[in-house]
Chains A and B, each alone.
Chain A
């Protein structure tokens, strides 16, 4: 069975602080895909990034970076120099070739000015 755990339910930081959102996954498949989505207060779900199981390269996009470690089954997301506009619920998700995509319960990030 697939499982995605986002242990941090809520995180609150002050603007310009760095923040890391944790994601741990479980799957028996050897080929799988990991995703992060953002859900701002307006409610829409926005795709941020996809990572394949066979590609452990970390990725940086502006203030966003992702650290994928198969050894610990983790796909963590770091926001550098956080801004108020980063306040949202962030979901980590796991997709495999064998079954349905599974979302974590989400982490609510609040960035205070």
Chain B
């Protein structure tokens, strides 16, 4: 089992550019989560999917952020246009449970460190 795979590991982009982060969850896991981690705000849940359907996106900071899950094995988080305050580590996680209240622990990817200059 390769675990949750995120790409890229690092991304440096200029303000105003579009950024797309990718995630491949563990096969068979039906819940997928996107988190953002910063020193100031800690770990924040941005959005989660259950069986490819977005369930709660209330954590998405602004309309500049969007997430999709076209199938059970792939999800993207897009920021357009990016701003310096979006700089953070973005984690994707998956779980075999259903919903954010899954009684199972999450398996996190290695994260994408985004720097917007």
**Which residues of A pack against B, CB within 8 Å?**
32-33, 35, 37, 43-50, 52, 91, 95-101, 103-106
**Which residues of B pack against A, CB within 8 Å?**
33, 42-43, 45, 48, 56, 58-59, 89, 91, 93, 99-111
Main secondary structure on A side of the interface with B: strand
Is A100 within 8 A of B91, CB to CB?
no
Closest residue of chain A to B103, judged by CB?
A33
Is A98 within 8 A of B42, CB to CB?
no
Residues of chain A lying within 8 A (CB to CB) of residue B33: 101
Residues of chain B lying within 8 A (CB to CB) of residue A98: 101
Residues of chain A lying within 8 A (CB to CB) of residue B58: 100
Task: For A95, give its contact among B89, B100, B109, B110 (CB under 8 Å).
Answer: B100
Is B108 within 8 A of A103, CB to CB?
no
Task: For A47, give its contact among B48, B107, B109, B110 (CB under 8 Å).
Answer: B107
Task: For A50, give its contact among B45, B56, B59, B104 (CB under 8 Å).
Answer: B104
Residues of chain B lying within 8 A (CB to CB) of residue A48: 105
List 16 A-B pairs, Cβ < 8 Å.
A32-B101, A33-B103, A35-B106, A37-B105, A37-B106, A43-B89, A43-B111, A45-B108, A48-B105, A95-B101, A95-B103, A99-B100, A100-B58, A100-B59, A101-B100, A101-B101
With the chains together, A71 CA to B111 CA distance in Å?
36
